[in-house]
Structure 1
Amino acid sequence: MKVLIIGLGSIAKKHIAALRKNWEVSVYALRSSAKSNSLDGVTDLYSTNELDELQFDFFIISNPTSKHAEAIEKILKYKKPLFIEKPLFDKIGTSNQALISRINNDKIPNYVACNLRFLDCLQEAKKMIAGLRINEINSYCGSYLPNWRPDVDFRKSYSANKEMGGGVHIDLIHELDYLYWFLGMPKKSNTKFTSQSHLDISAVDYANYLLEYDGFCASVILNYYRKEPKRTLEIVTSQATFVVNLLENKIFENGKEVYASSQKILDTYEVQMNFFLKNILVKDDFNEFNTVNEAYKILALCMEN
């Protein structure tokens, strides 16, 4: 099996590691410059002219979000499955909608990678609340951007720079994604974005969403500046209050622990890749699970302000 990766950063390395755990694969990377750092076991390519003869089985798009559309354009003609790192794009608009239409018209299998859908506690929580009367949902994710990539100046990362497609609302789109996965699209939404913290970056470092559903509201708060990480989902139902601790992979019901998993968030990359490969390359049946169509709806919700 051959795969071409466009964008060989930290997230790509996680996908490569996940691939190699269970699959025999030859990995190639389309590089933007001959000066780019090479990675052991990855064959570097420097021109799209080199792609024709290699006959790739699928493509991974994991370059900066602002360059996703350009990368997809380069390889769309091959009509091979696409594994696209979230978020799908850095903006909404007619050009990106046209690109999605081309993917659909050519019936190209595709998946937008939101690995938290494969986190045990979220999968269990989805089952636990099925059929319950929900009164309120609160989703929170706060962490400290300088700690994300300790060996890199965070101010130079795409996350910190608006012009590169960064921003906490885009980086942490997972929260909106899993709420969509749980509940579907809200009837109405209100948002507030700011960039006023001590981090002094151009990208949004605080996002607040209020999502209105039939009979209840869901709030989502995201930030880049919390030094003690916190990632939780609180679901208040008529029967009980459930608190999902994503960092610990646990669920509490009315304060009592009712579920715990030893799975680490890093493990979800392997589960996700196995799901993608088994459903697209083996079964040729993806059942519309987080395709570009879904991902674009979530992106549109994410970008509303």
Structure 2
Amino acid sequence: MKIIFFGLGSIGQRHANILLKDYTHDLYAFRSSAKSKPNELGIKELYSWDELEKLKPDVAFITNPTSLHIETAIKCAEFGCKLFIEKPIGSSLKDFEKLKKIVKSKKIVTYIAYNLRFHPIILKLKKNIENKKILHARVVCTSYLPTWRPDRDFLKGYSANTNMGGGVILDLSHELDYISYLLGDINKMTGTYSKRSNVTVDAEDFVDYLLETKTTPVNIHINFLSQLRQRYIQIDFDQLTIIADLIDSEIREYKNDILHKTEKVDYQKGQEYSDQIKYFLDNIDNPSMMNNLSEASGLFEKITAFKNHE
């Protein structure tokens, strides 16, 4: 199978390395200019859409800056490529309807890559809360953007720049996705966000959401301005509180303010990315695979409406 990458930044290289290590597909990289520095993975490079048309790739991995996702996906869909689109779908709704129409008319297989759906903690939690009445859920995700990619100038990266699709709302939309996955569709989304520090050029660096899902109310705090790295989900039941900690890879149960049980969950760093690609390739001919464009579009539209104060 021929697979072409659009964007070989950190996430593109992560996906490509998994494919190079675990599979035998032919990989290619689409570059914006022949003057670009050759990629470090030794992947064959293409420099024009004419070359791509002759190549006839089977799959396109859309891993370029968020602001380019939709226009790139449209062009690839027009060539009949199956689409692996790194989250989020895009930075705005511009041309989104066009993408949906092309995907539907050509019956293009699509997948929106939210890797945390494959994290062992999320999978374990989903099983643990099944058919249980949830009173409330709280999610916290804090980190410090300059430490994300220490070998690069963080202010030049897309995360720090609004025009590239950066900011916590889009860049850290994992939490909204896995809450939908765990607790059902988000019916109402309100909250506040702004830029409070110097870790971005102009993008928001924190957001607080108040949500109503299909099953329960949820509040979510996300930032990348904090000196304390945290990522956990707290779920309250009538006689039990669970904290699922994605950093420590454990699930803690509390009763009457006392730690009742701690369950360590086996986790190998990066395994959720490998499991995600395996799922995608195993379902490569299934237009109804989990989190396809049609399924993911509702959340994406809610996120962009929230960001635009609509």
Measured after TM superposition, the shift of residue 103 of structure 1 is: 0.6
Equivalence for 1:259 = 263
Distance change >3 Å, CA 198–CA 56, structure 1 → 2: closer
1:30-49 counterparts in 2 under 5 A?
30-38=30-38, 39-49=40-50
Equivalence for 2:279 = 275
Matches of 2:268 and 2:140, distance apart in 1: 19
AA paired with 1:236?
Answer: D
The reply on whether 1:206 has 2:210 as its aligned counterpart is no
After the TM superposition, list the runs of 4 or more consecutive aligned residues in structure 1 that deviate by more than 6 angstroms: none
Measured after TM superposition, the shift of residue 218 of structure 1 is: 0.1
Q: Please, which moves more after superposition, 178-187 or 147-156?
A: 178-187
Please list the CA deviations of residues 190-229 of structure 1 after superposition, one character each: whole Å capped at 9, or x if unmatched: 1211112243530010111100246731001110111221
1:77-226 counterparts in 2 under 5 A?
77-93=78-94, 95-199=95-199, 201-213=201-213, 216-226=216-226
Equivalence for 2:230 = 230
Measured after TM superposition, the shift of residue 295 of structure 1 is: 2.2
C-alpha contact (below 8 Å) 1:208/1:222 kept by paired residues: yes
Measured after TM superposition, the shift of residue 112 of structure 1 is: 0.5
Stretches of structure 1 that go unaligned for 5 or more consecutive residues are: none
Q: TM-score, normalised by structure 1?
A: 0.94
Please list the CA deviations of residues 93-137 of structure 1 after superposition, one character each: whole Å capped at 9, or x if unmatched: 5x2122112112211001000000000010010110111111110
Distance change >3 Å, CA 246–CA 21, structure 1 → 2: same
C-alpha contact (below 8 Å) 1:119/1:249 kept by paired residues: no
SS in 1 for 2:131: coil
Q: TM-score, normalised by structure 2?
A: 0.92
CA-based RMSD of the aligned residues comes to 1.6
SS in 1 for 2:112: strand
SS in 2 for 1:138: strand
Distance change >3 Å, CA 105–CA 257, structure 1 → 2: farther
Matches of 1:257 and 1:53, distance apart in 2: 58
Distance change >3 Å, CA 213–CA 24, structure 1 → 2: closer
RCO (CA 8 Å, sep 6+): is it higher in 1 or 2? Answer: 1
Matches of 1:40 and 1:217, distance apart in 2: 45
SS in 2 for 1:44: strand
